[in-house]
Amino acid sequence: MKENPQDNVYSMSLEEKLGHMLMVGFRGYELENGVFPETVLSGGIPAGYILFDKDVARGTDTRNIESPDQLRRLTDAIRKRTDAPVFIATDQEGGRVSRLSPQRGFSPIPSHQELGSLPVEETYHQSRKTASLLKSMGIDMNFAPCVDLGIAKNSAVIYGLGRCFSEEPLVVLRHAKAWLQGHKEEQVHAVLKHFPGHGSASGDTHKGIVDASSTWSEAELEPYKALIRGREADMVMISHLYIRQLDPLYPASLSEKIIGTLLREHLGFEGLVISDDLQMSAITDEFGISESIRRAITAGNDLLVFGNNLCYDPEIVSRFIHTVTGMIEKGEITEERIDASVVRILKAKKGFL
């Protein structure tokens, strides 16, 4: 009989539950005597880690990924660090968005834009190749595919980096479906992004607030609708875009109307909801750490990402746990709300989604 993740949640401490809701970044190519190079684990153990090739805050090419042998040693060490199952994630879309790059000794992968002009069979082949590489490196979650429509040709962060299969929803759907299938067969989690669609926005949420209200259209939801309806999407990442016709007050990642009502209720998504990096300027310029955490959880995010790359906070884990514990004590968030996310996370880690 399969283990019931819901039973596991009831036996966890609150700190353990909150750890499961965290995905964090850290600095270093290796662990030193089983300990992370900096105190990113102080106050608790997150159950997810995101790896980068470059350190944006420092402006260097030194972060977590140096070579295949080094990366495998690092992921092995991370998994030995805790008895709890962990997600280890990266962004390996292909083309210019490849953390495992040819410059570091990894095989090149075509960009989404390149694949979009080829038969979907090639996307499936490249997806399996990508997922096989990630799996061999100990990485089990890929923040790809992008299902953004290639509408804003002046977007430096989406279209300009070749991250769109096409501007046509049906073409994007076909290639995204092939990508999801390839990853699923290699047992690597693929994450659709950036809900509810970043392709018509010209701005970059890494750098500040982006309002896509005047450009966004419901056509950008079409790939999500079809993939969710076909039960092919297990995980979705939420963007930080403001789309006022969907929520006049909050960006998508902090919006209960966009996550709870649109994604969960209207589209019927039952899988894992993952925030985009909550340290992006689109969030930090507008909200404090406490407010962004509270709104991200109440909006419906299951896994909260703090990449610790655009800025670095070695105390982010303890800060998160202290903040949410205080909110539960004040009645601002219920522990039942936390339990619901942790059950979904455990299901995903055990392959039940």
Q: What is the pLDDT of residues 143-198, one digit of tens each?
A: 999 999 999 999 999 999 999 999 999 999 999 999 999 999 999 999 999 999 99
Give pLDDT, residue 38: 57
Tell whether pTM > 0.75. Answer: yes
How do the domains of the chain map onto residue ranges? 19-321
Residue 225 to residue 182: CA distance in whole angstroms = 20
Which member of 206, 240, 247, 277 is catalytic? 206
Which member of 53, 234, 276, 302 is catalytic? 276
Superfamily of 19-321 according to CATH: Glycoside hydrolase, family 3, N-terminal domain (3.20.20.300)
Give every strand in the sheet of 192-195, ordered side by side.
192-195, 235-238, 272-275
Determine the length of the chain.
353
Confidence band of 39 (pLDDT split at 50, 70, 90): low
Residue 92 to residue 243: CA distance in whole angstroms = 27
End-to-end CA distance of the chain: 17
Q: Is 140 a catalytic residue?
A: no
Q: What is the pLDDT of residues 6-36, one digit of tens each?
A: 667 888 999 999 999 999 999 999 987 666 6
Q: Is 61 a catalytic residue?
A: no
